[in-house]
Structure 1
């Protein structure tokens, strides 16, 4: 399978689907902006710059970048995590996400998120989405997005080669991670930034469909139509 087919190709097959969470399956914008806004107010930081660059990357990497010199980065990251875990107001599923996930084989789906497992469970539950049986969260990887480690790990856990998978991502860092992993990547939503060659784009999953078939060798395949 060619993960970098022309972006005009709106139908393709794969063997596994890898999803980011925030902005891809779950709309948590209200909570994210509230929590990071409070941090920016406390330290006199540029909230617009934080939101522009933090999307899709691990919280600790953003804290390292913006926290004042001498800050306890680990403690501040833990504080932010604790704030996020108790705030779920306004969290909803991206349109069509529940239907699409429900149409896919459970053992061919993975969540790959920069959130830790506790926060991922909370947000998926708040959005009314079932947590995939395979998940790669912040504590599982040593290098966060845009490094491809998370997506390569997910493909390995599902037993597929990178070229046999598809990544759904909304953030530039995550899109870069999918592309770097050699996985066909579909950008979701309006905050993707300029797209690399071959990356498809959808606004949400309202018009996306998936069906399960078998190839000539009898192996299960997933056919997507965007």
Structure 2
């Protein structure tokens, strides 16, 4: 783990007794086309099957993907190469059109981000897309185990001072859904990167981020039993 929990982006929480947590890639940021190019280029350079490599990337930290598809290589060194390739993509990572409207729902509420990416990259892409900094951000450097392990979501709940049952998660990948469910959270899956049958572990499934708005509103306003 690169940094201790005290260095996470815990910069304040809202007043409500529930929180919404977002994955980033495939949820707030439309990174699918750019990442497909990045991983295909890396796989070709390493004489690996690009489709096989791609199938292991969703919702996982890059170092975890590399460790699975190329265990003979130094994962950290290869991740540096992936980041170099990523730099060539520039700002080819637009936010989804509905992202701003969804986050406006959470003004004065508790929310955060749990991502397999790196905080500086994530914050830059949100800024370029006109989105606010998340009050809580847990990135790949703040966990020992990435998704599908629940560690990241559990850390976010602690930073938000809430039980996991009071956290709603928006995810797009099976690994993220598994992580959130293992943390004891309710999950909405968006069908932005995976077919419906691969998202069966989520409590709700919708087509777009905008389609989460009525579900989020209902969940936040629902009284505790």
Task: Calculate the TM-score normalised by the size of structure 1.
Answer: 0.81
Structure 2 gap ranges (5+): 1-15
Q: Does 1:53 align with 2:56?
A: yes
Residue 117 of structure 1: CA displacement? 1.0
Note the 1:131-170 alignment, pairs <5 A.
131-170=133-172
1 or 2, which has the higher helix percentage? 2
Q: Which residue of 1 aligns with 2:5?
A: none
Q: Which of 186, 200, 204 lines up with 1:184 in the alignment? A: 186
Kindly indicate whether the alpha-carbon contact (under 8 Å) linking 2:177 and 2:201 is maintained by their aligned counterparts in 1: no
Query: For structure 1, which runs of at least 5 residues remain unmatched after alignment?
Result: 1-12, 213-220
TM-aligned CA deviation for residue 147 of structure 1: 0.3
Change (3 A) 1:68 1:175: closer
**Deviation digits for residues 176-201 of structure 1, max 9, x if unmatched?**
00111110001012416433456101
Q: TM-score, normalised by structure 2?
A: 0.81
The structure richer in strand per residue is 1
Shift in CA distance, 105/155, structure 1 to aligned 2, threshold 3 Å: farther
Alignment RMSD, CA only? 2.3
Q: Cα offset for 1:89?
A: 4.2
Q: Say which SS state the counterpart of residue 146 (structure 2) adopts.
A: coil
CA–CA distance in structure 2, aligned partners of residues 62 and 102 of structure 1:
33
Separation (CA, whole Å) in 1 of partners of 2:91 and 2:168: 30
Which residue in 2 is equivalent to 1:30?
33
Aligned 8 A contact 2:189 2:202 in 1: no
Count of residues in correspondence between the two structures:
203
Equivalent pair of 2:63/2:75 in contact (CA under 8 Å): yes
Change in 2 beyond 3 A, CA 1:198/1:171: closer
**Corresponding residue for residue 113 of structure 1:** 115
Match of 2:92 in 1: 90
SS of the aligned residue for 2:205 comes to strand
